[in-house]
Structure 1
Amino acid sequence: MATCQTIRHHGHWSEPADHVALTYDDRFLRRKVLVTTSGARILVDLSKTTSLNHGDALELDNGALVEVLAAQEDLLEIVGGDLRRLAWHIGNRHTPCQIEAGKLLIQRNHVMQDMLHKLGATVIEVAAPFTPEGGAYGHGRTHGHSH
């Protein structure tokens, strides 16, 4: 089994030898065995918990690169209504949100879905890769209010 202790961020590497598709939650890791699209097993053993993004690469101990892809997952697509206001309510609940022209995407959650309906949004259940906005104080995710 190959081992990965180094991450190459999007744009700082060349051709991958393989790929691994991970959900948003699975792209937050420190130590875990992953299975690539070709079936190879990789032990990711990072020095600290890291948020991986679509397009990053795992650098294996043999120098090969495995590209990280955002996997399909169950999401809510929010359209209609005042998207700026809806985005504020989503952010106020510390819910990761992918912002695109004319729509917002969040992970499926019936409580959020109900709230958004009450705020006048049209909410559609979809399956798509999820790449929400990162934190304002650095790359990746933010937790708590220590910033």
Structure 2
Amino acid sequence: MTICTTIIRAAPGPFAGQIALDYEGRLLRRKRLTFEGGDFLLNLSEVTSIEDGDAFELSDCRRVVMRALAEPVLVVRGNLPRLAWHIGNRHTPCRIEADRLIIRQDHVLEAMLRQLGAKVERTELPFSPEGGAYGHGRTFGHDHGHENGNGHSYHHDHA
């Protein structure tokens, strides 16, 4: 079986094919992947967030580009600093643009944002949120330490 151990960021073509993955599916380490030219075993040394335009460099020298799959999102417009604060306070991955915020569809967040005066549009777009403040490509809740020993099994305020 063809193996891939290298990801090329923002790779130039030509490509032997492409793979479309959603946001959750783009966090990979070891997995069998299939594209129109066959399949291969992805075997990376660590869990890696694959971004739109990155390529899998295969052991037979072919490159397969990854394209972000469109998925259900909410496009949020309004008082963006205030709305972004509320989204961030819930540790929700968010794409921040000059005139809008983009989050994955969530009916609870949608209701909260509308209550805060946001214009919210349901649509489908590739979802690529900001990477987080601590140098990580993903925001999985948050792992920035709690000096007071509080975990996340109950509500607590951040200092």
Question: What does residue range 1-147 of structure 1 map to in structure 2 within 5 Å?
Answer: 1-11=1-11, 13-36=12-35, 38=36, 40-79=38-77, 81-138=78-135, 140-143=137-140, 144-146=142-144
C-alpha distance in structure 2 between counterparts of 1:14 and 1:137, whole Å: 32
* Per-residue Cα deviation, 1:62-81 (whole angstroms, up to 9, x for no partner): 111111111010111111x2
Task: Tell me the amino acid that sits aligned with residue 17 of structure 1.
Answer: A
Task: Tell me the amino acid that sits aligned with residue 33 of structure 1.
Answer: R
C-alpha distance in structure 2 between counterparts of 1:101 and 1:44, whole Å: 36
Gaps of 5+ in 1: none
C-alpha distance in structure 2 between counterparts of 1:103 and 1:40, whole Å: 39
Q: Where does residue 148 of structure 2 map in the other structure?
A: none
SS in 2 for 1:101: coil
Gaps of 5+ in 2: 146-159
C-alpha distance in structure 2 between counterparts of 1:136 and 1:63, whole Å: 36
Task: Tell me the amino acid that sits aligned with residue 4 of structure 2.
Answer: C
Q: Structure 1 residue runs of 4+, over 6 Å off?
A: none
SS in 1 for 2:82: helix
Task: Tell me the amino acid that sits aligned with residue 114 of structure 1.
Answer: A
State TM-score, norm by structure 1: 0.88
Q: Sequence identity, in percent?
A: 49
SS in 2 for 1:55: coil
Change (3 A) 1:122 1:39: farther
RMSD value, Cα: 1.8
Task: Tell me the amino acid that sits aligned with residue 10 of structure 1.
Answer: A
SS in 2 for 1:86: helix
SS in 2 for 1:87: helix
C-alpha distance in structure 2 between counterparts of 1:98 and 1:90, whole Å: 11
Contact 1:53 1:140 in 2 (8 A): no
Change (3 A) 1:28 1:101: same
